[in-house]
Every structure is written in structure tokens, then in C-alpha cells.
Amino acid sequence: RAKAAGGNRFEFADAEADARAITRHGLTTALPAALERGEFFIEYQPLVHLGDGSVYGAEALVRWCHPQHGVLGPDRFIPLAEHTGLIVPLGRWVLQEAVSQARFWHQQTPLGGDGRPLRINVNLSPTQLHHPGLVADTVAVLERSGLEPAALCLEVTESALIGADEDLLKPLRQLAEMGVDIALDDFGTGYSNLANLRRLPVSVLKLDRSFTQGMQRHPADPVDLKIVEGIVSLAHSLELAVTVEGVETGAQAEQLRDLGCDTAQGWYYARPGPPDRLHTLSLADAV
């Protein structure tokens, strides 16, 4: 809509919001066909031990290769897929793809740097968590691929589990009993009741990137350090492993290692990339 010259900032902001809404609408309606046409792909970001930097697994991160807009990150379309429910078939596809990739790694390089089979982490959105087929779908995918359940870790955000009742936790509990790891993603952003942690069937806390960013300042904020220290000690007393997200520098890695964090993920180690690279990385660590 053409506006007379001299249009103020508000009109400009309006036009931008309109454009965003149009794109959002376009992307939303394009999602089902995109899934059918195979426009989604997965990048894998290595997960490493903070102690020696050895790779023990990877997180699967979905991308959309859109015919007009190019490669779109998950923040652009996961919320839309959540909203329309397409996240269920899309999430099933990601799980299927990532699990067969992990199975393939196991055939090539059976063990990660810690002598255990390489782990594959897959994100679950709240809608997937509420979907009645979650356990059956996951079991079917594992059985079809032959991947052992202990090699799979499902990441659920802390905010998705805030106030979760037993009905919501039951499928996660069933998966955990089968040996699947459950990680609490973006931990520390959700203001959850820490005492609540003990009733969640989780075995890993993924400390949100915002804490890692706090370690970047020199000297790091002593309050930030205390908070991380507190979270780590609570996690360890509940026998949870602590993974840190978004490690971008060696200084951060060192700081977080000193604070007792166990494992890490971030650009300092490796950016998300194609699946064959993980194989090379873990082989390089093994020698």
C-alpha cells in the first residue's frame, strides 16, 4: 500500500509488520507441501565432553531449504508448525532421519570419545509432548532402525514442563524407563521450581546459552558464577549431567569446566553441519 512521502516511522513499522505477517502466512501454508517435497534437512552439531573436548554425540537441528527464501532456521518455521500441528509429522520425520543417521554412525564409528556409542539428541516441541502417539512413534522408529534406546536423547524445553502434571510426564517416564535419555533444554530461562526437578524423568540439564554468554565478560559477573555453580551442584546431587549450550570461546569452556559442567555444545567446538562431518570429528578424537 503506497503511502504519501513523509510517512512517519509508525507507518514504516506497520508496513514491516505487514510484510512479516504475509511471509508468516505464506510459510505456514507452504509447510505441508514442503514436508512432502523433502525440503527439510538436518544439521548435526557435535556434543563434547568439557574435560577433553571429545565428541560423544550430536544434536539434530532441522532446517528448511525454501525454494524462494533459501535456507530458513527453525526459529522461522517451528513456531508455525507448532501452531498448525504440522510439527507432529515434521517431528516424526526429524526423529526418523536423525535416528537412522545415528544408526549409520554406529556402523562406521561404534564409539564416541567416552567409549560409549555416539548419542543423538532430538528436540521435541510441546505439541509433540502432548501428542498421544509419542511413545509408540518413538518405539517404532527405534525398532525399525535397530538403534539402542540409550543412544537417543530427547530434548524438551524447561518451559514445556513447567507445571506439567503426571499425564504429561507419563510418556516421558515410559521413554526414560526404556533407556531413552530426556534432557531439559534451555534450562534456567523458565523460572521453574527447582524442587520440581526431582519429579521429572530427566537425566540431563542443558544450561541455556544466556549463562554461557555471561561467562564472556571479564571478569565474569560473580553472581552469574554463583548461579551456575548452584545449578551444577543441585543437578549433580540429583544425578543429572549438565550440558552447556552456546560455548563460543575457549575462555568460556574453561570457566564452565571449572564450574563443574560436564559436557558442551557450541561454535568453539563446531557449528551445526552435515552428518558426515561428525564421523570425521569423532574419528579424529579417537586417535
The Cα–Cα gap between 147 and 57 comes to 14
According to DSSP, residue 266 is labeled: S
29: Cβ contacts below 8 Å, ≥ 6 apart: none
Only segment of 2-10, 14-22, 135-143, 245-253 that touches Mg ion (CB under 5 A): 245-253
Cβ nearer to Mg ion, comparing 157 with 282: 157
- Which listed option, Mg ion, ligand C2E, none, makes contact with residue 57 (CB within 5 to 8 Å by class)? none
- Which listed option, ligand C2E, Mg ion, none, makes contact with residue 78 (CB within 5 to 8 Å by class)? ligand C2E
Nearest to 130 by CA among 96, 173, 160, 157: 160
Length of the chain: 287
* Selected binder of Mg ion within 43, 97, 114, 155 (CB under 5 A): 155
Question: Rounded to the nearest 10 degrees, what angle do helices 9-37 and 87-108 cross at?
Answer: 60
Quick one: which H or E segment has residue 207?
Answer: strand 204-207
The Cα–Cα gap between 147 and 21 comes to 41
Looking at residue 276, its amino acid is D
Residues 91-120 that bind ligand C2E (CB under 6 A): 91, 94
Only segment of 164-172, 206-214, 261-269, 275-283 that touches Mg ion (CB under 5 A): 206-214
* Selected binder of ligand C2E within 57, 112, 272, 275 (CB under 6 A): 272
Q: Which residues pair with 45 in a beta bridge?
A: 59
Q: How far is the CB of 77 from ligand C2E (least distance, A)?
A: 9
Nearest to 194 by CA among 155, 240, 244: 240
Q: What is the largest CA-CA distance in the chain?
A: 68
- Which listed option, Mg ion, ligand C2E, none, makes contact with residue 61 (CB within 5 to 8 Å by class)? ligand C2E
248 binds ligand C2E (CB under 6 A): yes
Q: How far is the CB of 215 from ligand C2E (least distance, A)?
A: 12
Q: How far is the CB of 202 from ligand C2E (least distance, A)?
A: 15
Cβ nearer to ligand C2E, comparing 57 with 272: 272
268: Cβ contacts below 8 Å, ≥ 6 apart: 247, 248, 249, 250, 252, 253
* Selected binder of ligand C2E within 186, 224, 262, 285 (CB under 6 A): 186
* Selected binder of ligand C2E within 7, 26, 73, 110 (CB under 6 A): 73
State whether residue 187 is helix, strand or coil.
strand
Only segment of 110-118, 220-228, 242-250, 254-262 that touches ligand C2E (CB under 6 A): 242-250
The binding site for ligand C2E (CB under 6 A) comprises: 45, 61-62, 73-75, 78, 91, 94, 123-125, 155, 185-186, 245-248, 265-267, 272
